[in-house]
Amino acid sequence: MTYKNFTVETDADGIALVTWDMPDKSMNVFTMEVMDEIEAIVDAAVTAAAVKGVVFTSGKSSFSGGADLTMIKGMFAMIAEEKAKDPANAVQKLFDASGRMSWLWRKIETCGKPWVAAINGTCMGGAFELALACHGRVASNAKSVKLALPEVKVGIFPGAGGTQRVARLTDAQSALQMMTTGQSLTASRAKAMGLVHQVVAPETLVETAKQMIKDGLKPVAPWDEKGFKAPGGGIWTPASAQLWPAAPAILRRETHGNYPAALAILKCVYEGLQVPFDTGLKIEQRYFTEIVQTTEAFSMIRSLFVSMQELGKGARRPAGIPKSELKKVGVVGAGFMGAAIAYVTAAAGIPVTLIDRDLEAATKGKAHSESLVKDSIGKGRLTQEEATKLLDLITPSADYADLKDANLVVEAVFEDREVKKAVIEAVEAVLQEGAIFASNTSTLPISGLAKNSKRPAQFIGIHFFSPVEKMMLTEVILGKETGDKALATALDYVAAIKKTPIVVNDTRGFYVNRCVFRYIHEAYDMLIEGVPAVMIENAAKMAGMPVGPLSLNDEVAVDLSQKILRATVADLGEKAVDPRHMVLIDRMVDELDRRGRKNGRGFYEYPAKPAKKYVWPGLKDFYPQKRADEVDVEVLKQRLLVTIALEAARTIEEGIVTDPREADVGSILGFGFAPFTGGTLSYIDGMGVKNFVALCEKLAASYGDHFKPTPLLLDMAAKGDTFYGRFDPYTVKKAA
């Protein structure tokens, strides 16, 4: 029998080599068709007398990344459809569908013939669960090998036997740590945990897997053997008596109860280890059915899985424009940001010329890349040969003429209009026809900067976030005259350096910074009201934010806040800024020289390592302090999330952001907006626009007009709309 996604070759020893290699896909993923073919292969292997065992491997550079986008979308479409037409049986149908993969893997495990997974490259999610169901597992020792069950990061959990097998192969504490964080394992770490049997050189991978079968590998999982005991002795042991009372408390400390899937993992493991394996699978299936119906799961999967992949693959790229060949990129400004932009460009294999006022400054910028490379070598991420090749791609220079053959030039100089004007003119004097100029400005409107350009159609903004080498988001900003070619080139460049882009129209602060400063300014209001700074920071973390607003302000620099406030007053008048905020920040910067992390003094104190930073005690003397029992923490949490979400809604209403996927993904990747919500607009849609408007009105009555719902929100609430309904990105694209 022939298969579309697999080849099956049986050798003279009776070992069938099943190679997964999906046509027209860069990575193997699970689809319903793939599942059907795997089941047919299992049935054929069982009935074929000539087949003594099966080795399952990949024909691509990676094993598999897990489920396909269409499969995930189909699951949620099925939930909605079934609940609409047959509510009584909808959950049962969902339960049955959720168990398809789990029971197929169990079929492999109990088929009576030995299966060995030969793992090369990435092996994630359901693919790793498939490998765990095989009787033997051999992994390549290549650096590219990553093994993980990362489902919790998108609001669900390993629901195809993962919670049951991992907890029976390694100790419960390690199993919980792996699954509740979604951490990736190297092949050697997986072997040390007992999740992989052998780690070998890539060229001997399949041969070693076959040898396991030849050596008499038993086609029986350990838990199907009589007398099996889980590592550590299971639930009723002294070690477990220490683990299990602490585990929920630790999880609560880390997640503040915002991630139902993480708690479900604990329940699956705790309950599953007390019953036979098949019963444990049913317990897992029951919890998976429950979790997949939550708002958190729907919102997180949509934003962090589906939308992120769609945007990364060029969902906003103009049609009909050939892919850009970036043979050379120029970066002007070898300071911290420019140097980092040069590094990520070279890391993508693109030659880059790094320009500064003199060769010494440009060379100093390249030294930043050298330090990053040295760190990567130390951590085993780069070999010396790879590091040398990367650094050789960066050419420091003080001569603008060296940019004459660049396809794209990124300007990363000071946030000063005159400085940028001089750079634009100097670059355009040598830039080849058709090349694109991009500004990395974080605050200055692109249309204003483009007035200094002779070619505004080829002028665009590419706003990076610091640290560039770690932050996954870039904002691509369209000026009023920016053309499609400039947008396509910018998106091709962002894809090449493996970042996720959002495309926004021009405005002060663009999208991310507008939201970030609303978050920070709400903290200023709270300080002025007398809310203790520690309560503000803790409430933010309880709401799901990775860092509190005062900590974030220290990171971006308190004196930058001052510059932005002053620039806003200069451009828009004094009424555009709360004068109390100006007083607070002027006192911090001008009187006390507390500028943030960069000078070790901001809203926090930064003692020498290994001591940790702590909130500056002097803040409590700025304003009369409320007692802790006078402050409603739930209201603090609401204020911090609502003020950001409201700003996101304003950007949609103003036409700055036109695609709700970008508002959501941008808010999570840009500043960590409570990921469990799925992002700013999913937060609103998740609670319902009508409920959000009511919450806004309640907060406005107590804390100010900046909480008043916008006309768009009032209209949506009246009509029962959602952002993903009214601004459906898929309908818009079809219409275009």
Residue 198 is classified by DSSP as E
What gap in Å lies between CA 307 and CA 481, rounded to an integer? Answer: 27
Active site residue 368: no
pLDDT digits (tens, 9 = 90+) for 438-447: 999 887 889 9
Which residues, in sequence order, are bridge partners of residue 457?
none
Is the pTM of the predicted complex or chain greater than 0.75? Answer: yes
What does the pLDDT read at residue 567? Answer: 83
Query: 287: closest CA among 262, 266, 269, 264?
Result: 264
For residues 437 and 536, membership in a common domain is answered with no
What gap in Å lies between CA 5 and CA 61, rounded to an integer? Answer: 15
Residues near 45 by beta carbon (within 8 Å), at least 6 away in sequence: 16, 51, 54, 111, 113
Measured between its terminal Cα atoms, the distance across the chain in Å is: 44
What does the pLDDT read at residue 574? Answer: 86
Does some domain include residue 298?
no
Does some domain include residue 323?
no
Does some domain include residue 63?
yes
Angle (nearest 5°) at CA 188 between 185 and 194: 85
Query: 623: closest CA among 501, 497, 728, 529?
Result: 529
Query: Among residues 508, 534, 553, which one ends one of the domains?
Result: 508
What does the pLDDT read at residue 208? Answer: 96
Length of the chain: 736
**Amino acid present at 342:** A
Query: Among residues 269, 293, 317, which one ends one of the domains?
Result: 293
Give me 469's structure tokens: 């080498």
pLDDT digits (tens, 9 = 90+) for 296-353: 999 999 999 889 989 998 889 998 899 998 999 999 999 889 999 999 999 999 999 9
Residues near 623 by beta carbon (within 8 Å), at least 6 away in sequence: 527, 528, 529, 530
CATH for 361: 3.40.50.720
What does the pLDDT read at residue 66? Answer: 87
For residues 458 and 560, membership in a common domain is answered with no
What does the pLDDT read at residue 732? Answer: 54
Does some domain include residue 352?
yes
For residues 368 and 489, membership in a common domain is answered with yes
Query: CA dihedral in degrees (500, 506, 507, 513; nearest 10)?
Result: 10
Please identify which residue in the block is written with the tokens 């882009």. Answer: 501
Choice among 135, 197, 368, 463 that is catalytic: 463
Q: What sign does the CA torsion over 618, 622, 628, 631 have? A: negative
Low-confidence ranges of the chain (pLDDT < 50): 734-736
Q: How many CA atoms lie within 13 A of 193 on its CB side?
A: 26
Contact indicator for 157, 291 with CB cutoff of 8 Å:
yes
For residues 518 and 404, membership in a common domain is answered with no
Residue 672 is classified by DSSP as -
Helices (H) and strands (E) in the chain, counts: 32, 18
Three-class secondary structure of residue 622 per DSSP: coil
Contact indicator for 9, 210 with CB cutoff of 8 Å:
no
SS (H, E, C) 434-496: CCEEEECCCCCCHHHHHCCCCCHHHEEEEEECCCCCCCCEEEEEECCCCCHHHHHHHHHHHHH
**Amino acid present at 487:** L
CATH for 544: 1.10.1040.50
**Amino acid present at 82:** E
Give me 702's structure tokens: 């107590």
Give me 597's structure tokens: 């992390």
Query: 529: closest CA among 631, 404, 679, 425?
Result: 631
Contact indicator for 3, 37 with CB cutoff of 8 Å:
yes
For residues 157 and 251, membership in a common domain is answered with yes
Does some domain include residue 736?
no
For residues 55 and 34, membership in a common domain is answered with yes
List phi, psi (to 5°) of 294: -75, 155
Packing angle of the helix pair 87-98, 277-291 (nearest 10 deg): 130
Per the structure, the count of domains in the chain is: 3
For residues 503 and 519, membership in a common domain is answered with no
What gap in Å lies between CA 397 and CA 352, rounded to an integer? Answer: 10
For residues 485 and 561, membership in a common domain is answered with no
What does the pLDDT read at residue 733? Answer: 52
Q: How far is CA 432 from CA 395, 437, 455, in A?
A: 19, 11, 12
What gap in Å lies between CA 490 and CA 348, rounded to an integer? Answer: 15
Contact indicator for 56, 20 with CB cutoff of 8 Å:
yes
Does some domain include residue 300?
no
Write the DSSP assignment of 350-365 as a string of letters. --EEEE-SSHHHHHHH
For residues 623 and 695, membership in a common domain is answered with yes
For residues 418 and 559, membership in a common domain is answered with no
Domain of residue 366 covers 329-508
Query: Among residues 508, 524, 556, which one ends one of the domains?
Result: 508
Which residues, in sequence order, are bridge partners of residue 54?
16, 115
Contact indicator for 622, 550 with CB cutoff of 8 Å:
no
Does some domain include residue 322?
no
Return left, alpha or beta for 281; rule: phi > 0 is left, psi -120 to 50 is alpha, else beta.
Answer: alpha
Three-class secondary structure of residue 312 per DSSP: helix
Contact indicator for 168, 277 with CB cutoff of 8 Å:
yes
Beta strand 198-200 pairing with 394-397: unpaired
For residues 374 and 268, membership in a common domain is answered with no
For residues 334 and 261, membership in a common domain is answered with no
Does some domain include residue 449?
yes
What gap in Å lies between CA 445 and CA 510, rounded to an integer? Answer: 8
pLDDT digits (tens, 9 = 90+) for 446-485: 998 999 999 999 999 999 998 899 999 999 999 999 999 9
* Cβ atoms within 10 Å, residue 591: 8
